Amino acid sequence: MTDTLLIKGGIIVTLGDDNKVLRGHAVLCEDGRIKKIAKASSFKGKYKKVIDASGKVVMPGFINAHMHFYSTMVRGLGKAKPSKDFAEVLENLWWRLDKKLSLDDSYYSAILPLIDAVKRGTTTLIDHHASPFAARGSLDRIAEAVKLSGLRASLCYELSDRDGEKIAQDGIAENVAFIERCMKEKGGKLKALFGLHASFTIGDKTLEKASRIGRGLGAGFHVHTAEAKSDQDYNLKHFGLRVVERLHKFGILGPKTIAAHCVHVNEHEMDLLERTGTAVVHNPQSNMNNAVGVADILKMFHKGILVGLGTDAMTVNMMEEVRVALWAQHLSHDNPNCGFVEAFTSLLFNNAKIANRYWDVPVGALKEGWAADVILIDYHPPTPFDEGTFLGHFGFGLAQSFVDTTIAGGKVLMEGKKLKIGVDEEEVAAKSMELARKLWERF
Ligand SMILES: [Zn+2]
C-alpha cells in the first residue's frame, strides 16, 4: 500500500494565492505530497491512515524565516553583564556564548526547539548558526537533529571576521560543505544558505570572497541587516556606505537572499532591496527585546518588498510572533488601524514565497502536488468564518488556540497533542541540561 493519509472533517484553510475556506472536504496526502483536495464523499478508497479533524482547522504548517537554534543554551543564564545597547548585548552575551559552543551543544540546542516547533505547528525553519570554535561539522550535527524531528530546515553558518582569519575560513568552509551536501540531497527536507553574520563584522576581503564563492555555488545569503542603528554608523564610518548599499556592492542581494531585520534602512536601501528581489525577514519580538526599534514593514510592503516573519529565536511559536508584529506596527505608527493585512500576510503568505525560493516541493499552501505539511488546530469559530473573515479569526482566535496535530512531508509528527517522532523529550532535555551546566561554567 502506498503511503496514504486522509484528513477528513474539520474546516480546511488552503492559504496560497487563492486562499479558500472549505467545509465538507478532505485532504489526501500520498508519498509526502498533497494528492487531492475534494469533497469528503469522493474519497472511497482504503488509506493507510485516516485522521478525523472534526472541531479543528486544517491548514498548512507555519514557516519561521529567521531562527537561531543555538540560543536555547542561554535560557536562565544569569551571568551576562547588563547591556546598555545592542552592541553590548552581542559582546556580553551572544559572542561570549557562541565561542564556547561544542558540536554536541549545537546538536542539543537544536533538538529542543525543533520538538517545540512540532508542538507549535511550525514545520519549516530557516536557521542561522554560530559556534566559531566548533564551526566545522556544526551544520551536519544540527541537520541530524532536523532529520530526527522530521521537520524541514534551511541551515547556514554565520561567517564573520570577529574571531580572526582562521575562523573566518572555517565559516566559509562550513557554508560551502553544507551547501554542497544539500545540492546532492535534492528533493530533501534540508536546504542551505550561505550565512553571513552582518556587514559590520565582515571586512571587505572576506565579504568579497564569500560573495564570489556563494554566488559560484548558486546559493543565496542569509544576513543580519541594519538590525541596530550602530550597524549603519559602523558601515558609514568604516566603508562610507550604508549597510544595504555595501551588501549590494558586494553582490550579496538577490531573490535567494534573506536580509533579516532591516530596522534601520532608509528609502534608498528599501529600493535596493526591492529592485534586487531580496526578501526581508521581520523579527518584532527580538527587535523590541533588544530595544533596537521596529522595522517599517508598511513602507516595505508599499514598495513591493517581499517581507516575511521570523522569530530570531525568541520563540518557535509563529502564532505568538505574528500578533506581536501587529501590535508593534500599531505602536510604532501611533495608529491602531494599520498593519493588519501586512502582519498576517508576512507569516501566512510571504513566508511560503520565501521558502519556495529554496525547497523543490512547494510548501505553505494546501494544494495538490505541494508538500503535505499540514497542521490541525483546535477551533470552533464563534462568528462567521470564511475567506473574508479568516485573518481576524487567525489573529484573535486560532493564534490563541492549540495545535493538535502536525504533519510534515506526509509524516505525522504529533497527533492528539502527542509527539510521534520517537524522541524521548525528557531524556533529551536532561542531556541538554548536563551540557548547559558545563557550557555555563566555561561562559
Ligand atoms: Zn538573528
Separation of CA 128 and ligand 1 centre (Å) = 7
In whole angstroms, give the CA distance from residue 271 to residue 307.
Answer: 13
CA of 139 to the centre of ligand 1 (A): 16
Band the pLDDT of 78: cuts 50, 70, 90: confident
Q: Is the pLDDT of residue 363 over 80?
A: yes
Distance 227 CA to ligand 1 centre (A): 9
- Mean pLDDT along residues 319-344: 98
Cα(376) to centroid(ligand 1), Å: 29
Q: How far is the CA of 312 from the centre of ligand 1 (A)?
A: 5
How far, in Å, from the CA of 245 to the mean position of ligand 1? 20
Contacts of residue 326, defined as CB under 8 A and 6 or more positions apart, other chains included, come to: 339, 340, 343, 344, 395
Q: Cα–Cα distance between 413 and 403 in angstroms, integer?
A: 12
Confidence label for 79 from pLDDT (cuts 50, 70 and 90): confident
Q: Please give the order of strands across the beta sheet that includes 56-60.
A: 21-22, 11-13, 56-60, 374-378, 403-408, 411-415, 418-419
Per DSSP, 200 falls in state: G
Note whether 240 and 269 are within 8 A (CB).
Answer: no
285 pLDDT band, cuts 50/70/90, is very high
Average pLDDT over residues 34-61: 97
How far apart (Å, rounded) are the C-alpha atoms in residues 424 and 428?
6
Q: What distance in angstroms lies between residue 259's CA and the mean position of ligand 1's atoms?
A: 10
Cα separation, 401 vs 55, in Å, equals: 12
Using the mean position of ligand 1's atoms as its centre, give its distance from the Cα of residue 71 in Å.
Answer: 10
Ligand 1 centroid – CA 399 distance (Å): 23
Specify the pLDDT at position 443: 86
| CA–CA separation, 20 and 14 (whole Å) | 5
Cα within 13 Å of Cα(321), Cβ side? 30
CA 98 – CA 134 distance, rounded (Å)? 9
224 CA → ligand 1 middle, Å: 6
**What distance in angstroms lies between residue 241's CA and the mean position of ligand 1's atoms?**
22
Please give the Cα distance from 270 to 300 (Å, whole number): 7
Nearest in space to 169 (alpha carbons), one of 213, 125, 106: 213
Tell me the H-state helices in 217-339: 229-239, 243-249, 267-275, 284-289, 297-303, 318-332
Q: What percent of the chain has pLDDT over 70?
A: 100
Handedness of CA 399, 29, 361, 413 (dihedral sign): positive
Identity of residue 146: V
Q: How far does residue 313's CA lie from ligand 1's centre (Å)?
A: 7
pLDDT in tens, 168-201: 999 999 999 999 999 999 778 999 999 999 999 9
Ligand 1 centroid – CA 334 distance (Å):
26
Task: Please report the sign of the dihedral spanned by the C-alpha atoms of residue 99, residue 219, residue 274, residue 301.
Answer: negative
Lowest mean pLDDT among 73-87, 171-185, 246-260: 73-87
Burial annotation 135-167 (CB, 10 A radius, 16+ → b, else e):
beebbbbbbebbebbbbbbbbbbbbbbbbeeeb
Q: Give me the pLDDT at residue 80, please.
A: 82
Question: What's the 310 CA to ligand 1 centre distance in angstroms?
Answer: 9
What's the mean per-residue pLDDT of the chain?
A: 96
Question: How many angstroms is it from 255 CA to the middle of ligand 1?
Answer: 19
- Give the Å distance between the CA of 66 and the centre of ligand 1: 6
Quote the pLDDT of residue 1: 65
CA distance 331 to 232: 24
Distance of CA 262 from the midpoint of ligand 1 (Å): 11
Cα–Cα distance for residue pair 416/353, rounded to 1 Å: 30
pLDDT tens digits for range 400-415: 999 999 999 999 999 9
Using the mean position of ligand 1's atoms as its centre, give its distance from the Cα of residue 169 in Å.
21
pLDDT for res 347: 98
Amino acid sitting at position 219: A
Residues in the chain: 443
Ligand 1 centroid vs 213 CA: distance in angstroms? Answer: 22
Burial class of residue 120 (count of CB atoms within 10 Å of its CB; 0-12, 13-18, 19+): buried
pTM over 0.75: yes
CA of 257 to the centre of ligand 1 (A): 14
Rg (CA), the chain: 21
Distance between Cα 260 and ligand 1 center (Å):
7
* Distance from the alpha carbon of residue 68 to the mean position of ligand 1, in angstroms: 6
Distance of CA 340 from the midpoint of ligand 1 (Å)? 24
Write out the three cell numbers for 418: 502527542
